[in-house]
Amino acid sequence: MKNKLTGLGIAVITPFKEDLSVDHEALTKLVNYNIENGTDYIVISGTTGESVTVSKSEKKEIIATIVNANNSRVPLVLGIGGNDTSDIIEEIKTTDFSHISAILSVSPAYSKPTQEGVFQHFKAISLASPVPIILYNVPGRTSSNMLPETVIRLASEFSNIVAIKEAAGNMSQYFQLIKNKPDDFLIISGDDDLALPVTLAGGVGVISVIGQAFPKEFSKMIHLGLEGKTKEAYKLHYQFLDIISYIFSENNPAGIKAVLEQLNLSKDQVRLPLVVASDSLKTKVGSFINNFKKS
């Protein structure tokens, strides 16, 4: 499992047509584009995939499309999370994991449980899951920070909890996790702008948003980091800082969808309450892409 979750993972979008139905043709195109350009694994139905506005039947169809397009070339990770523990367990019980290497499960949002509540939530998921689990901490969306002590406790007590996608945007918290984790527990960056520093500090890579638009270069950056080639890796890191800032300036995934549309990979449609990127953001994105292609 360690090798499967090393390098560049992408939090793949769900492309929509103009009528907001799922665009399976664009999704297939995006999967192929990423695999052919160095993406190491794909995360399905995360925040970037607009999981909260995708129905259960649509989710199954999206999984089927990605499984078919992937054709067992790279590992697939499936997002199964929420703030109703029993509902998550029921979804796990009714999911076909034949082509899924792990699940990504976000710390409960909105309910704002205590650290003990977070622990008990993931304990229940651990006992129910037939595949390894990647914890996901993203306080900016959940309004609750899963503290390093809770993560280490879970990692130490449950062998199928194998990694965390950490996205608190806090290097000190990353350092605490890397310093105190069990040897075989993986720290994966969930912050695109910190992906390289975290990798160099002892993480194993990133589950990225921007990476799906520029997989060749972003994957190269992460693998240079894993090889300890700091100078070469940071050269790429600085090239990406502006576009990372742009795509998160309004909402995710409207920003990345604006990028992918200009790369002719998918349309920029999102479902309400999200709205498409503003004209000013699209102009910034277009300028970046033009300059990036010249560099």
Q: Which residues of 195-217 are buried (b: 16+ CB within 10 A; e: fewer)?
A: bbbbbbbebbbbbbbbbbbbbeb
Q: Which CATH class is domain 3-227?
A: alpha beta
Would you tell me how many other CB atoms lie within 10 Å of the CB of residue 57? 8
Q: Choosing from 136, 174, 181, 246, which is the catalytic residue?
A: 136
Q: Which residues of 114-143 are buried (b: 16+ CB within 10 A; e: fewer)?
A: eeebbbebbbebbebbebbbbbbbbbeebe
* d(C-alpha 162, C-alpha 155), whole Å: 7
Is the Cβ–Cβ distance between 154 and 161 less than 8 Å?
Answer: yes
Please give the structure tokens belonging to residue 60. 């199954």
Q: Is the pTM of this model over 0.95?
A: yes
Active site residue 174: no
Active site residue 93: no
Q: Choosing from 4, 59, 165, 257, which is the catalytic residue?
A: 165
Q: What is the pLDDT of residue 61?
A: 98
Mean pLDDT by 10 residues, the chain (295 residues): 86 98 98 98 98 97 98 98 97 98 97 97 98 97 96 98 98 98 98 98 98 98 98 98 98 97 98 98 98 85
* d(C-alpha 81, C-alpha 140), whole Å: 16
In the chain, where are the structural domains located?
3-227
Q: What is the pLDDT of residue 2?
A: 58
Is the Cβ–Cβ distance between 206 and 8 less than 8 Å?
Answer: yes
Alpha helices of the chain — where are they, by DSSP H?
24-36, 56-70, 85-93, 115-128, 139-142, 148-157, 171-180, 195-201, 215-226, 230-247, 254-262, 279-294
